[in-house]
Chain A
């Protein structure tokens, strides 16, 4: 039963991922991405990590893709508005990124050994509490760095927006 659910969810994720990269209409692509994210959340839930599943939906489906939709809907960019031959540039850039990605993938897969010991968190405390103990005790420094990263993103967004207003 668990296996069947896993394969169904995995197929949904892969199929939606395929649809995302093949759709011409950006809105449709973004919506398939939402379904893929929801299915990934389902995979997390199946692993018993409901907390991560909920975060997956809140952050990815509920925030990041909403941002994508906003950009797509508000700009409504046509292809000729980029000002240069975007298609050639996109293909070249996509090719380079794709090669890097494949190299990474090969490296990761080649290093993978089945039966690698996974460190389980203490289930007695419940998922979220155990996770936050790790996060706020052991990984304190990276956590604080995240806030600086978010600050940089915030300032970047404001600067970009005010530049557009000046024009």
Chain B
């Protein structure tokens, strides 16, 4: 199974070559007549007002934070799941406690309104 990595490597290489080739090929074929208006950002036909790199709603940020925490939980669940047959009831109770503590956190976030969009 050692050359399996190699095959995946070749597959990835095909993918990369394909995208670079199409972009390059399209670059040869397509017309290239830029002007000032074309190079402006789209804003429903109006001249754009300021850039987009400004401060945004912090709501997205809280999702990313909670995501990191739950991602770690999933990462613990994966090895637990594949070994579950060998681990048995004790492991189930362990994981139950682990998940219960995190669910408490999720419930707290819900209660505080962090997961709802209003306000």
Contacts and interface: CB of A to CB of B under 8 A. Distances in A.
A75 B58 CA distance: 8
Given A67-B64, A147-B102, A129 B79 contact: yes
B82 interface: yes
A151 B86 contact: no
B94 A144 contact: yes
A11 interface: no
Contacts of B61: 70-71, 74, 161
B72 A140 contact: no
A66 B64 contact: yes
Category for how many chain A residues contact B: 35 or more
Contacts of B32: none
Interface of A: 45, 51, 55, 58-59, 62-64, 66-67, 70-71, 73-76, 125-126, 128-129, 131-133, 135-137, 140, 143-144, 146-148, 150-151, 153-155, 157-159, 161-162, 164-165
Interface of B: 5, 53-62, 64-69, 71-73, 75-76, 78-80, 82-83, 86-87, 90-91, 94-95, 97-98, 101-102, 104-106, 108-109, 112-114, 119
26 contacts: A45-B5, A58-B71, A58-B75, A59-B72, A66-B64, A70-B64, A75-B55, A125-B83, A126-B82, A133-B83, A133-B86, A135-B79, A135-B80, A136-B91, A143-B94, A144-B101, A150-B105, A151-B101, A154-B69, A154-B105, A155-B105, A155-B108, A157-B109, A157-B114, A158-B108, A161-B61
